[in-house]
Chain A
C-alpha cells in the first residue's frame, strides 16, 4: 500500500538557518503530495502541495518539488523564523475516484531558537 517516510525529528535550528526536511513516498499510480503543518494545540494546516511530477509547491517561503524519479518531496526554506516552530507532516493522497484521503508520514518536530 501507499506509505510516506519522513525525516525523523526533532530538528532544532537557529533563526535564519536553512531548513530541509526529507520526505520519500511509495505509491501506486500518480499521487498528489502535500506538506501539512501543525502548531501546538491546533489542527493540521495545508502548507503546500504538488499534484504532478516536477511541480513545485510553495508558500510562506517554504518550497517542495515533486520528484518522481527519486519519489521524493523534500521541504525546504532558506531562512527559518521562530514562528516556524511546529510539527511538519508529509502526506500523499491516492487518486481513487472521489476520495482524497491522506496517508501521512510520522511528522517532524521543528524548533527554531532565536
Chain B
C-alpha cells in the first residue's frame, strides 16, 4: 500500500540558510500534519492543513511557513535556520471519515532528518 512520502530523507544546511521539506500524503488523504522530533524527544505538533487551508497551528516558529497544494502535497519552508532546528521532521496524513466529524488515524512518513551546522 502507498505510504506517506517525504523528501529529502536527509538534509544538511548551514545557519541562516533556508530549507524546504516536501510531503506527499497517502492518495485520497486530505489532511496533512507536520511534526518536529528533536533528539531523544517526543514529536511536537507544528501545523496542519485540511483541503489546502490551515486547520491548526502548534509550536511552529515564525521563521517557518507551510502550505498544502491542490494535489494535497505539502511543503514546510524554514528560513534563517538555527542550530536548534536540527531535528527529524515528520509529515503525517489522514482522511475525513463519513460526515467529516472524525479523521482516520494518522499515517506517518519516515521523516526528513535536518542537520543545521
By a CB distance below 8 angstroms, the chain A residues around B94 are 100
Taking CB atoms and an 8 Å cut-off, the chain B residues in 69-116 that contact chain A are 90, 92, 94, 96, 100-111
Instruction: Give the CA-CA distance A37 to B3 in the complex, in Å.
Output: 16
Distance of A95 from chain B, by nearest CB (Å): 8
Question: B68 contacts the other chain (Cβ, under 8 Å)?
Answer: no
Distance of A96 from chain B, by nearest CB (Å): 7
Chain B residues touching A, range: 20 to 34
Are B105 and A46 within 8 A (Cβ)?
yes
By a CB distance below 8 angstroms, the chain B residues around A100 are 31, 94, 102-106
By a CB distance below 8 angstroms, the chain B residues around A96 are 56
The residue in chain B whose Cβ has the minimal distance to the Cβ of A41 is B110
**How many A residues, CB 8 Å from partner?**
23
- Known A101-B33, A104-B42; judge A49-B48 contact (CB<8 A): no
The residue from B43, B48, B55 contacting A104, defined by CB atoms under 8 A apart: B43
By a CB distance below 8 angstroms, the chain B residues around A99 are 31, 48, 50, 55-56, 103
User: Looking at B31, B50, B58, B106, which has the most chain A CB atoms within 10 Å of its CB?
Assistant: B106
Are B41 and A43 within 8 A (Cβ)?
no
Mostly, the A contact residues are: loop
Are A102 and B45 within 8 A (Cβ)?
yes
Taking CB atoms and an 8 Å cut-off, the chain B residues in 35-65 that contact chain A are 35, 41-45, 48, 50, 55-56, 58
The residue from B42, B100, B103, B108 contacting A43, defined by CB atoms under 8 A apart: B108
Distance of B58 from chain A, by nearest CB (Å): 7
By a CB distance below 8 angstroms, the chain B residues around A49 are 105
Instruction: Give the CA-CA distance A80 to B33 in the complex, in Å.
Output: 32
Instruction: Give the CA-CA distance A65 to B16 in the complex, in Å.
Output: 47
Show 17 A/B contacts (Cβ-Cβ < 8 Å), sorted by A.
Answer: A36-B108, A42-B110, A43-B90, A44-B90, A45-B108, A46-B106, A89-B42, A98-B96, A98-B101, A99-B55, A99-B56, A99-B103, A100-B31, A100-B103, A101-B56, A101-B58, A102-B45
